[in-house]
Structure 1
Amino acid sequence: MTRDDISRGEAQRLRGLTEAARATRTFEILADSGALWVWGDEDEVLFSEDGERRTLLPIWPHATVARMENEGEVDGEHPIRITTEAFLNQWLPQLEEDEANIAIFPVEDRNAAVITLAEFRSRMTAALRLN
């Protein structure tokens, strides 16, 4: 396990939280750890779509929960760590060009929340101030 990993038991506990609690806890963890996790391989990051075919970038608060959600899907894919600073300053502008939203901590195809980039920036900035 890396320093960003948690036990599978702790990951299962987080996965079992209500959607609202998963979203709130995600921002607390991101502010505390200074990083978030996406899923992909050496060449690209995995995106999904909502029911209205809008592009979503799924993010997770720990590598372990990302792995539990995606393991066994495609060989070579793995959790990818992104610092919150890089996400806010580099990723969000690119996601804006792609007209993507953020899917917070999906579990079994149920997102804790789907939020706009502006809402993500606002909630992340608030969480960082509280930390």
Structure 2
Amino acid sequence: MAPDDISRREAQRLRGLAEAARVSRTFEILAENGALWVWGDQDEILFTEDAKRRTLLPVWPYAAVAQLEHEGEVDGEHAIRIPVRVFLDEWLPQLREDDADIAIFPVEERSAATLTLDEFRSRLTAALRLN
């Protein structure tokens, strides 16, 4: 397995973590692997909304956990790997223009946390420094 691939069993274990543990583990994994995962198809990335109708971009630490979240959904959609430096430098400015926040490691459509772009940048930058 590649460093950013995990077994279905490990993906299920991570999905079962409490929300705070999913958040901290997500940032550790992003820093270790240098990538995060979003969901979409060849044309666009999937966004969602929360109860307050805020636009959210769900992110996952591994493709396997994103795939479990979307099992049986639309054909052609898949996990998309984004290097963390590209995400920080290119995606965050675009997300700011789109007025979107980040949904961390959703499981059954419940995010472990919803972070503003500044909060996400701060947490990820700190994790990268520790790694």
| TM tier, smaller | over 0.9
Identity among equivalent pairs (%): 73
Counterpart Cα distance in 2 of 1:51 and 1:29? 28
Q: How does 1:1-131 map to 2 (within 5 A)?
A: 2-131=2-131
Counterpart Cα distance in 2 of 1:3 and 1:20? 23
* 1:130 partner letter: L
Counterpart Cα distance in 2 of 1:109 and 1:43? 22
* Root mean square deviation of aligned Cα: 0.8
* 1:108 partner letter: E
Count of matched residue pairs = 131
TM-score (norm 2): 0.98
* 1:35 partner letter: A
4+ runs deviating over 4 angstroms: none
Unaligned runs of 5+ in 2: none
Secondary structure, in 3 states, of the residue corresponding to 1:119? helix
Deviation at 1:124, TM superposition (A): 0.3
Deviation at 1:4, TM superposition (A): 1.9
Deviation at 1:76, TM superposition (A): 0.1
Secondary structure, in 3 states, of the residue corresponding to 1:46? coil
